[in-house]
Amino acid sequence: MNNTLKTMLVAAAALTAVSAQAQDKATLDLLVKKGVITAEERAKTLQSAAATKTESGVDRVFIKEAGATRLTFSGRIQGQWEAAAYSQTAAGVETQAADLNNVMMRRLYLGAKADVGYGFSGEIVYNFADNTPTSTPTSTSTSTSSGGITTTTTTTTTASTVRAGAFDKAVFTYESELGKFDIGYQKVQFGQEENTSSSALYTVERSMVTRYWAESHNGRRLGFGARHVGLFYSNKVVIGEGGPGTLSYGAAIVDAVQGYNSTSVNDYGYYANASFDWKPLGLTVGINYGITPEGGTLTAVGGSLNKAEGLNPYLKYVVGDFTVLGEYIVTGLDASSTTATAQGFLARDPSGYNLTVAYKLSEYIELVARYSALNTDGRGQQAGDGFRDINTAPLTAATYDKSSSVFVGMNYYFNKNNAKIQVGYEKAKLEGRISGYSSGVATVVTADHADADIFRLQAQVLF
């Protein structure tokens, strides 16, 4: 009877040791202590369990270190309806573009983070709804004459090849008492609104000011912030008894051009940031700084491009149900000695600001308003540079020196940001059409302008 019991206990321990080795060691130690099995039998059981585990392939799938390894999944689903009207006025004559009326999946994020112990982790986030079109609307015109009357017909076609998706983040992280070190692809700290997660925005979309600095460089937009590949550092220091104040700071050295593929640019961008959060006042103030080559074209190894140097002070103030966010962005662009274009011959200092206020009427309902203004200092901006998906066809999109917009909206929170609906209307104006350049000086037609009316409705679920 005792031998039979011993055999059953040893077999059970061997089987369970495949998935719970640490716990089974304690069980086997107890059996040895009670005299049920011998120390030799304990050793053979552990050896057999280890061999079974290896043969099963468990080690090749997950190497789990009890209490140190964890795999976390996350996701973000945003569906959006957008409608927009756009017109351009030149010499007092207003011309209307085709209206936009569109339903889409704005974001489809799936992320995974693996903690592998000893302060090391890795994280990837993929956006399956990265649907940036690879081509733009085009127009063709044909003219026919009959009875002395000429009729012109304009046909607009849009080639909207959609990308299957793109990585939003991919980093290898090490954390210790010295701070947090990230190597990989993520956002640099530049732009308060840009570095607010899209899941936590008070408005449906980011402003045209934010997009002017964060979206890819196109000769007008700067491509200054947003996502780059590089080395990132961040840390926090708690100040005061009970931690009422927190000083956060960081720095980054990154590839000069946005994106996670090889850019073939032999230059780097450098960023630094600091902020202070004082909880008793509900106040956060901070500043971001960056210097990077302007334009992102190939240089010789060790060479340099004309530089873009940016500064971004910001604040956030929360008192009761009232929230205020404000930021100012200015960037100095070196003069080019090559061509008399938007970047040519003259140094430029585009600047802009965002001011957002939000008020919670209840646990569920929040009212939001934002005012944004941009001065490109002669560099120029088109409607598509600042307003996502805006349709300018069949018009030829004009370039303007300044722009401003007012957004008003409402958020309904079912469960904080985990489940919410956002609705908003934005009224925008672009002013001072740039008709050309003379030795780098922009020729601005101050009376010409463009107007945009944009309505958006968005639903979101986080998990």
Q: State the Cα–Cα distance between residues 368 and 370, nearest whole angstrom.
A: 7
450, two tokens = 């463009």
The answer to whether residues 258 and 294 belong to one domain is yes
In a domain, 175, yes or no: no
What is the per-residue pLDDT for 17? 43
What is the per-residue pLDDT for 294? 75
In a domain, 157, yes or no: no
The answer to whether residues 194 and 295 belong to one domain is yes
111 contacts 123 by C-beta, under 8 angstroms: yes
What is the per-residue pLDDT for 31? 76
The answer to whether residues 57 and 185 belong to one domain is no
All residues at 6 or more sequence positions from 136 whose CB lies less than 8 Å from its CB, including other chains: 158
The answer to whether residues 306 and 228 belong to one domain is yes
The answer to whether residues 85 and 44 belong to one domain is no
What is the per-residue pLDDT for 30? 77
What is the per-residue pLDDT for 141? 43
Report pTM: 0.79
Q: What is the mean pLDDT of residues 301-318?
A: 84
Domain boundary among 18, 33, 61: 61
CATH number at residue 345: 2.40.160.10
Question: Given CA atoms 411, 412, 416, 418 in this order, what sign does their dihedral have?
Answer: negative
| Span 352-407, pLDDT tens digits | 999 999 999 999 999 999 999 999 999 999 999 999 999 999 999 999 999 999 99
175, two tokens = 């954390």
What percent of the chain has a predicted confidence (pLDDT) above 70? 78
Q: What is the mean pLDDT of residues 228-247?
A: 91
In a domain, 171, yes or no: no
Q: State the Cα–Cα distance between residues 27 and 42, nearest whole angstrom.
A: 10
Averaged confidence pLDDT in the chain: 84
Residue recorded with tokens 């997009």: 211
In a domain, 170, yes or no: no
The answer to whether residues 304 and 328 belong to one domain is yes
Strands 166-176 and 120-127, sheet pairing: antiparallel
The answer to whether residues 32 and 110 belong to one domain is no
Residue recorded with tokens 């500043």: 287
211 contacts 236 by C-beta, under 8 angstroms: no
Q: HSE of 454 in the Cβ direction (CA atoms, 13 Å)?
A: 28
| Span 128-148, pLDDT tens digits | 998 654 333 344 444 444 444
Number of structural domains in the chain: 2
267, two tokens = 């230059």
In a domain, 130, yes or no: no
At position 416, the amino acid (one-letter code) is K
Residue 300 pLDDT greater than 70, yes or no: no
Q: State the Cα–Cα distance between residues 400 and 348, nearest whole angstrom.
A: 15
In a domain, 428, yes or no: yes
Residue-range definition of the domain harbouring residue 37: 2-61
The answer to whether residues 268 and 335 belong to one domain is yes
The answer to whether residues 108 and 47 belong to one domain is no
The answer to whether residues 111 and 8 belong to one domain is no
The answer to whether residues 302 and 360 belong to one domain is yes
Q: Please choose, from the candidates 78, 82, 79, 80, the residue with its C-alpha nearest in 3D space to the C-alpha of residue 453.
A: 82
In a domain, 160, yes or no: no
In a domain, 228, yes or no: yes
The answer to whether residues 105 and 41 belong to one domain is no
Domain boundary among 61, 80, 98: 61
All residues at 6 or more sequence positions from 67 whose CB lies less than 8 Å from its CB, including other chains: none
